[in-house]
Chain A
Amino acid sequence: MNDTLAQISSYSVYSAIVVLFLALGFYALYLARVARAGEAEVEAAPERELVAAGGTTSSVGTDEPVGTDEPASTGGHVGTDAATQEPARARKAAGIAWTLTLLGTALVVAAVVTRAVEVARWPLGNMYEFAIVGAMFTLLAYVGWSSRRDLRWLGAFVLAPVLAVLGSAVTVWWTEGSALMPSLRSYWIAIHVTVATMTVAVFTLGAVIGALYLLQDKRETSGGGGGRTAFMSRLPSARALERLSYSAHVVAFPMWTFTVIAGAIWARQAWGSYWNWDPKEVWSFVIWVVYAAYLHARATTGWKRQNAMWIALIGFGCVILNFAVVNVFFVGQHSYSGL
């Protein structure tokens, strides 16, 4: 029975990787097609201007194909009704990508649920489990957020890190299902570790959008349009990206605060002291302080938003380090990697 479940769980993860990889491809295709349409539009524009300058007729351009009839919307930003200007082929790619994303998400959820049933406990006891649950929350956050606004431009950038995590999970972090060690046997695992994993998912979205913001900002200030960054024209403006990233961080930061507090309460139960400067605690503290600095930097007049965003990205670097490095290589009480 348990072996069957274990197999179902593994197969779900592997199929999810395949499906999400395809989804990533279609999201990339979507961006490429939108970008190509955008470039065509950029090329078409001067011509139209020439005609207009000739003053022959004012109705030139009205019978152009949908998607290039609004010179003002070259940026194609959310809010300027981007969807209606996309070529049908791009829209189709995004549709397929979305369906595949939903399927992949369902498969990861299935993997987590079967794993939980297999081990008959909360499925957050080792690095393999942290990784697949983290991937699940990231996907769920993306899917959930997508239902409230158009985030098709973000798909590729969310799926790439999710795939990296799932790939590492099945290769380097794979751990056979087993019971928990005594210090993990507590209802606090469901509170502390679950919220921590969710928080990392939200931080991931914040960091991905933040990195896109920095790229977009550079592109906007240098006035670049085509070339390798042409797909960026489909993305929201730098200002909008910055706000989106900030809102993700605003959700994640209190969650992280809660994670640290819950961890401290649990640490007293399990280890006898609520704070012991164990490497994991040190890094949780560092992460908290770095993100607090990000929020401060953003609220400080005279500080550039770009610099504030860099602080947030450093914070995310610490989050990655706290998971991938501290769990495995640092000597401490948080030795639950299962490796």
Chain B
Amino acid sequence: MSATDERTRADLSTQPAPPDGGDGSGSGGGVTLPRLGPGGWLRYAWRQLTSMRTALFLLLLLAVAAIPGSTFPQRSIDAARTAQWITDHPTAGPVLDRLGFFEVYASPWFAAIYLLLFVSLIGCVLPRSRIHWHQLRARPPRAPRRLERLAAHREVETDETPEAVLERLRTTLRGRRYRVHAHDASTLSAEKGYLKESGNLVFHLALIGVLVGVAWGHLLGWKGDVILPVGQTFANTLSRYDTFSPGPWVDVSGLDPFTLRLDRMHVEFESDTTGRGQFGAPRDFDATTTFTDAAGQAREESIRVNHPLETGHGTVFLLGNGYAPHVTVRDADGTVIYSDATPFLPQDNFYTSVGAVKVPGADPDQLGFAGFFLPTGVIDDQRGPHSVFPDTLDPQLALTAFEGQLFPSGAPQSVYTLDTEAMTPVPGKDGADQLRILLRPGQTYDLPGARGSITFDGVERFAGLSIRSDPGKTLTLVSSLLALAGLVLNLVVRRRRVFVRVSAAEGTGRTVVSVGGLAKDDDEGMDDEVDAVLTADEGHR
């Protein structure tokens, strides 16, 4: 670090200056602390931050810091599981929560690591880019005095004149893609493999592009989910989404006004193979829709997994599916007070689904039904109502009924669960304290008292659609491909220097040709390279 001490005061501005090499060959990494003013300290800190050791340390730290995100449930991925985990671990849960373990990739400490890493990277790469820029236009350096000291070296004698030998070797080297320069009449200096460093710099700079692309998508991207039963139409406005999460900079009033009608939903499950984990596994999901764009042009579109629909400003993905039993509720006079396809959310691989039917129009008390839809239903004492196959082999609706106030506080609530705070269970006919209803399609159940009836008309499928926009994705993709290209160049290309010196052999009138080769890092092929340069020469003779 002594170089830092020797800088004059004029250098010690408050702006940290870039390190001179940046390759962090780090002469000991500052074991002796320099005596410096505040500017000097800044410079010192900057030098440490942009050293290769620090980059290495931060990389390892980043790897370690990413791990908890896979071992603890993450709120952004599965909020319910996260909440459950915290409830199950009353001591550790809240502490880990405060420390950000359930939002690792949005936590300040994770951000601190990668931001420091990128600052380090910029501080490292910019000066190196400048140096490389100059090197690209510089001549290969002068041949060292003693070529035999280089890693690879050969010497031969020939009858030809020094000029002829130099001329031929120059051609050979050029043919081998060397940049050749003669600093004097008896030597050649040649260098190749500049692309190695170019590749390295492209790689590191492109990583910055990846980060910017990710950030851009985060700030200006949005996503919304909607559950759409067959036959229904979705209009792309904010209020039609079940959930909508915009990035901080998104203008939510600017959604383009397309509509999407779900015409058919084709679903296939494995029923042939009975092997472990295979029976009932999903095989094909295909939503046939009518898409009407903002200009009013309608066309049929099939949305499948791996085959999303591009709408222009967003992309529609088919991410889920399930069942929406069609339920009709009548009052005591037989007047229909509720009739709708009501989506129930699948809970397991066999589509045991939960949901609620809310009938605010019932009189005198509002009615609510909560329970399960089972595509292939089984009810046993141990597990209660559950499904044993995801397709509708024996669809059943198992409900309990409540009466009272559906929306006591007026606060928004989930359409899939019943808030029974201000409700009481409807008693069973035979004196049981809770009415349990089991319906198959077409069946009607007469509610006790003058409460009317409930009919399970049939079942429709629904498509779980997610509509998303990520304006940063192209930048991220292009940058990552550039990074890959740079990386390959960096790892494949070899930076090599070859020097030639000719001199007259004593007395014989012959010419001594001395060729030395030098490579960046260890390069097993350097001896062969020097041989090849020389034998090309001999072959010419």
Contact between chains at A254 and B73 (CB < 8 Å): no
Pick the contact of A338 from B277, B315, B488, B521 — CB < 8 Å? Answer: B277
Bound CA span A258–B487, Å: 11
Bound CA span A183–B317, Å: 12
CB distance from B103 to the nearest CB of A (A): 10
Contact between chains at A292 and B59 (CB < 8 Å): yes
Given contact pairs A300-B52, A339-B276, A268 touches B473 in the complex (Cβ within 8 A): yes
Closest-by-CB residue of B relative to A175 is: B275
For A180, what are the chain B residues with a Cβ–Cβ distance below 8 Å? 283
Contact between chains at A179 and B283 (CB < 8 Å): yes
Asked if B105 lies at the interface with its beta carbon under 8 angstroms from chain A, I say yes
Pick the contact of B26 from A269, A275, A302 — CB < 8 Å? Answer: A302
Quick check: which of A8-16, A35-43, A219-227, A278-286 contacts chain B, the rest being far away?
A: A278-286
Asked if A72 lies at the interface with its beta carbon under 8 angstroms from chain B, I say no
Bound CA span A175–B279, Å: 12
B-contacting residues, A86-112, CB 8 Å: none
Quick check: which of B38-46, B61-69, B92-100, B362-370 contacts chain A, the rest being far away?
A: B61-69
Asked if A301 lies at the interface with its beta carbon under 8 angstroms from chain B, I say yes
Pick the contact of B306 from A177, A185, A243, A311 — CB < 8 Å? Answer: A185
Bound CA span A146–B217, Å: 47
Contact between chains at A282 and B67 (CB < 8 Å): yes
Given contact pairs A175-B275, A175-B278, A265-B477, A272 touches B270 in the complex (Cβ within 8 A): no
Pick the contact of A279 from B29, B70, B277 — CB < 8 Å? Answer: B70
Contact between chains at A331 and B59 (CB < 8 Å): no
Quick check: which of B391-399, B402-410, B478-486, B531-539 contacts chain A, the rest being far away?
A: B478-486
If A175-B278, A289-B60, A339-B276 are given as contacts, then 19 extra A-B residue pairs at C-beta distance below 8 Å, sorted by A number, are A175-B275, A182-B283, A182-B305, A243-B524, A250-B491, A254-B488, A261-B484, A270-B306, A272-B466, A273-B223, A273-B468, A273-B470, A282-B67, A286-B63, A293-B60, A296-B55, A300-B53, A303-B53, A338-B277
Mostly, the B contact residues are mixed
Contact between chains at B491 and A253 (CB < 8 Å): yes
Number of A residues, CB within 8 Å of B? 57
Contact between chains at A296 and B468 (CB < 8 Å): no
B-contacting residues, A163-222, CB 8 Å: 175-183, 185-186, 188
Bound CA span A175–B480, Å: 36
Bound CA span A286–B491, Å: 21
For A250, what are the chain B residues with a Cβ–Cβ distance below 8 Å? 491
Closest-by-CB residue of A relative to B306 is: A186
CB distance from A185 to the nearest CB of B (A): 6
B-contacting residues, A282-339, CB 8 Å: 282-283, 285-286, 289-290, 292-293, 296-297, 299-303, 311, 326, 330-332, 337-339
Given contact pairs A182-B285, A243-B522, A299-B521, A293 touches B305 in the complex (Cβ within 8 A): no
Contact sample, A vs B, 25 pairs, CB 8 Å cutoff: A176-B273, A176-B276, A176-B278, A181-B282, A182-B284, A182-B285, A182-B305, A183-B305, A186-B306, A264-B477, A272-B317, A273-B223, A274-B477, A276-B77, A277-B70, A277-B76, A279-B70, A282-B67, A283-B70, A286-B63, A293-B56, A296-B55, A297-B56, A302-B29, A337-B277
